[in-house]
């Protein structure tokens, strides 16, 4: 199976108040608009997500946020970041240190402040 990245297009969200009355055409139009964003972003297997925007401290419902999600192939930068994270986790496990500390060691080595050498 090929690698895919989940993308949530929240920038193009639709917000619906519980006070609005929507007919079928309004809903279809809204979903078509969101689907067009997904196609333009190159997403595959797209689907829609509805999320409540109410905060825990609020006593009244907020608008419902509707947005589209889907999958796309990872970029070269994302692939590189995944490899770096895996290498960092391997180093952290090998040295028995937290992931954050392994990140610091790698940054210090890249800056030339320390030399890890063959400690792994």
Give the Cα-Cα-Cα angle 42, 63, 23 (nearest 5 degrees).
75
Residue-range domain boundaries for the chain = 5-72, 76-110
Given this model, what pLDDT does residue 1 score? 47
Given this model, what pLDDT does residue 97 score? 93
60 contact partners, CB below 8 Å, separation of at least 6: 54
Given this model, what pLDDT does residue 14 score? 83
Distance of CA 99 to the CA centre of its chain: 21
Cα–Cα dist 120/115, whole Å = 12
Given this model, what pLDDT does residue 2 score? 64
pLDDT range class, residue 119, cuts 50, 70, 90 = low
* pLDDT tens per residue, range 44-99: 999 999 888 888 887 777 788 889 999 999 889 989 998 999 999 999 999 999 99
Given this model, what pLDDT does residue 92 score? 92
* Strand-pair partners of 69: 8, 47
Given this model, what pLDDT does residue 101 score? 93
Radius of gyration of the chain (CA): 22
């Amino acid at each position: 199976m090929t690698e895919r990245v989940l993308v949530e297009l929240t920038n193009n969200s639709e917000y619906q108040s519980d006070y609005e009355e929507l007919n079928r055409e309004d809903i279809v139009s809204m979903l078509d608009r969101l689907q067009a964003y997904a196609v333009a972003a190159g997403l595959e297997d797209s689907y829609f997500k509805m999320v409540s925007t109410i905060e825990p401290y609020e006593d009244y419902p907020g608008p419902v946020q509707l947005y589209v999600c889907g999958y796309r192939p990872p970029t070269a930068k994302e692939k590189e970041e995944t490899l770096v994270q895996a290498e960092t986790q391997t180093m952290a496990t090998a040295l028995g240190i937290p992931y954050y500390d392994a990140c610091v060691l790698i940054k210090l080595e890249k800056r030339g402040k320390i030399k890890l050498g063959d400690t792994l």
